[in-house]
Copies of this chain bind each other. A is one copy, B any other.
Amino acid sequence: MTTICVDVMGADKEPEVLLEGVTRALEKDPDLCVLLAGSADVVEPYCASHERARALVTTEVIGMAEHPASAVRQKKDASIVRAAAAVRAGEADGLFSAGSTGAVLTAATFGVGRIKGVKRPALSLPFPGLGSHKTIFLDMGANADVKPEVMVQFAHMGRAFAEVALGVSDARVGLLCNGSEDTKGSEMALAYHEALANGSCGFAGNAEGTDVLGDRFDVIVCDGFTGNVCLKTIEGTGKFVLSRVKAAMKGSLGAKLGAALLAGPLKAMAGELSGAEYGGAILLGLRAPVVKGHGATSAEAVCAGTLSCAAYARANLCEKIAQACEIAG
């Protein structure tokens, strides 16, 4: 059995939405157990009526608007803090939370702890691409400033994740840059390029923004500043496209019909871009898989996030990352 600790508080949605997601995950995966971190009135009745669910009763919650570091320090009984401690203590094999990104990052990094030798954990997600291609993208925003040697670790962690999540061995790694030529880059990007080229980490050259949803690389690495801008630009472009499709619907009857007929494919695409299949981004580099769902999550996303967290744990993702980082030194 694999146990995943689910933080059922802290999301923008009611705990009931998270519990519904947990129910779906338990139904789909007979080898899954859950440890539910939340207030007694939420988790105790649920665990009394569901097998394979245990309660981790906590009395505090960290809200979306709180300062992550000070909230994690002060609220020692917050659901995310207790959940991370439970994973560290071996009571669960992984953690899913749809709470505030900063709080999850901070609580998980200090609570679950980093893999020995890993300098900085990084947020990662497999992005959809052209055809059926997928690209592991990191760092999505955990580290605004990244040193060249840390970027090499990102490449190793991304390759281990590509093996587990995509089944790709010997993944081609690209560095997100302002041009595909080796000579392109800011001073920092040129330093990353040099470190990656010497890093024995499958480096295949510079990637461009067009490659993030493309098919030229299996892993694309960048600092979390650039990664966040890229991620939010994809999100904004998606919104823009939908706004124009909606505007077209106010026009001719044909466009209205066209948009209605394409509603299904467009919705599926929005799901692909938001990582719905995986339920959220994973924080790579910690001693157990930690999946961070979107604050405005859904039962489907909670189910997907819990199941993918269990799959990462079973595939020994963290051991693979530890090996890759140990060999790299």
- A interface residue numbers (CB < 8 A to B): 128-131, 141, 144-145, 176-179, 184-187, 189, 208-214, 222-241, 243-245, 247-248, 251, 254-255, 257-262, 264-266, 268-269, 272
Contact = CB atoms under 8 A, between A and B. Distances in A.
B224 A144 contact: no
A258 B269 contact: no
Contacts of A268: 244
Nearest to A102: B179
Given A176-B229, A178-B227, A209-B233, 9 more contacts: A130-B240, A178-B225, A208-B228, A210-B233, A213-B237, A225-B226, A226-B229, A255-B262, A257-B257
A169 to B, nearest CB: 25
A261 B258 CA distance: 5
Given A224-B178, A248-B262, A208 B237 contact: no
Contacts of A179: 228
A268 B251 CA distance: 13
Enumerate the 10 nearest inter-chain pairs by beta-carbon distance, A residue then B residue, closest first.
A258-B261, A209-B232, A209-B233, A248-B265, A178-B228, A210-B236, A258-B262, A213-B240, A237-B237, A186-B225
Q: Is the interface of A mostly helix, strand, loop or mixed?
A: helix
A212 B145 CA distance: 22
Contacts of A144: 178, 184-187, 189
A148 B101 CA distance: 29
6 contacts: A144-B184, A177-B225, A179-B228, A211-B236, A214-B240, A244-B265
